Amino acid sequence: MESDILDSHGFLIGEELEGDDFHYVEEDQKNENIGPSSIPYPSSTGSKNNDLIRNSRIGELASNKAGLQGIDKEKVKQIIYEASKNSAFYLNEEKKDEALSIKLKQMMKKYESLKKQNLSTINSKVDNLVQVAERERDLSHIIVHIDMDAFYASIEERDNPSLRNKPMAVGDNSMLTTSNYEARNYGVRSAMPGFIAKKLCPELIIVPCNFDKYRAVSKQIREIFSRYDPDYTPMSLDEAYLDITKYLDTIDESPDNVVEQIRREIHEETKLTASAGIAANKLLAKICSDLNKPNGQYRLQNNVDDIMNFIRPLSVRKIPGIGRVTERILNEMDIKTCGAILDNRVYIHQMFSSSSFNFFIRAALGIGSNIVKTDHKRKSKSISRTFSSLSKPDDLYEKLRELADHLAADLLKERLQGKTIAITFKLVNFKMITRERSVKKYIHTADDIYNIGKQVIFININRIIPLQTFESTLITFINRF
């Protein structure tokens, strides 16, 4: 995705596309083979609560991920509400929703005022900006986005066939990292607390994460990617971008056949399936990879007419970087598709910062980066774990030691060292705190990471206990050799 963008109101518009090769929450989004849930419908709630479960992350847990399209979303939202009401998570979402509602009210007041004004002069300026964006369009590359299907869950099913055709998820009672498609039939999805998932699907099997195994499989998949594009860009353990333009110049095959071959090799060597999108740039390829999940692919031809016919009716939420909050803002302006972004471009120009406007317009035109390369100058490496609430410092230090060992092992593999340790704490009330400490010499050993991290924890111990999860990150890298 493009770099993070904050508009003048502080809302996140663009999320990171060029991410670490290390994320623990998968983001599959489409599958038509779904079935109904048989869970009894709970009692209804008041209108305020209904608004909250519709607009907040509580409602987000019943989103359009792969395998979730055919479920009764309102039913799932009610069950999630009943399971989470009065929890720290719910109360925190309630506060955030109230703050967002106030900001939305202010924005809509400005929007209504703009609609009464003569904006013809600004219209000309905006049209010129759109023409500038259009000149950036490049249709000379064939970009592929490959995304493994329910990666962690599929590995566990492969290694334990008794899990197949049963609703299962990977994670723990605090948080799930992914679920298989059978579990998604019940509304169970990634980034959902396990205890809520159990309410949706009492027979759900939860398997603990095994990241060493997932990294090993990811290494197999990346070796396959390198056969077609040595400079592929890994986005996570389970997805990557490839530029197969040069490869296609060496053979007499269509892009469709080459991508089918890549997916076939992945299946033959790992017994796992992958989905893919093929398009002129990374933005479009990522969108396309969701269209025929699981185990499918979609190609968008490299010509302007096909791209615009594809992108105009596309929901704004399908754009990588537009999340729940931004979607809600745009929907309040009756902007629900990329075509509506273009049709209302003058209002978007006046309502948002210039960087946000540029992000919106380029996305709505289907214009994105086609630069695919391995990042040899990564700035950080992180390890994260989710666990049951910790309330004792010794337990926290024990978890820090575990993270330090894993982080040091990864650094050794990549021959990296750094000068700054950053630790992000997620409290039981779901608030986030990040603290960091820099040292004069470069470090890479587990003991050094642990000792510096322990200082960070000790200084902040009264603010962070009890704790839900934390992430240790070493930043400011150089190569050791």
Active site residue 269: no
* DSSP type of residue 315: B
Instruction: Answer whether 311's CB lies under 8 Å from 293's CB.
Output: no
Q: How far is CA 409 from the centre of its chain?
A: 25
Contacts of 426 (CB under 8 A, 6+ apart): 432, 467, 468, 469, 470
Q: Is-cis flag, bond preceding 466, omega within 30? A: yes
DSSP line for 426-466: EETTS-EEEEEEEEEEEE-SHHHHHHHHHHHHHHHHHHH-S
Residue 278: enclosing H or E segment and its boundaries?
Answer: strand 274-279
Instruction: Answer whether 262's CB lies under 8 Å from 299's CB.
Output: no
Structure tokens at 339: 């075509």
Instruction: Answer whether 376's CB lies under 8 Å from 233's CB.
Output: no
Residue 385: enclosing H or E segment and its boundaries?
Answer: strand 380-390
User: What separation, in Å, do the N-terminal and C-terminal C-alpha atoms of the chain show?
Assistant: 31
210 phi and psi, to 5 degrees? Answer: -135, 85
Instruction: Answer whether 174's CB lies under 8 Å from 194's CB.
Output: yes
Please tell me the distance from the alpha carbon of residue 361 to that of residue 125, in angstroms, as a whole number.
Answer: 14
Query: Which sign does the torsion angle of CA 370, 372, 375, 378 carry?
Result: positive
Q: Are strands 176-179 and 380-390 parallel, antiparallel or unpaired?
A: unpaired
Instruction: Answer whether 265's CB lies under 8 Å from 254's CB.
Output: no
Largest separation between any pair of C-alpha atoms in the chain: 66
Task: Give start and end residues of each alpha helix (H) in 185-233.
Answer: 194-200, 211-228
Please tell me the distance from the alpha carbon of residue 259 to that of residue 254, in angstroms, as a whole number.
Answer: 9
Residue 476: enclosing H or E segment and its boundaries?
Answer: strand 467-479
Which of 239, 265, 402, 436 is catalytic? The answer is 239
Please tell me the distance from the alpha carbon of residue 140 to that of residue 121, in angstroms, as a whole number.
Answer: 35
Q: How many residues does the chain have?
A: 481
Structure tokens at 29: 């989004």
Question: Catalytic amino acids?
Answer: 239
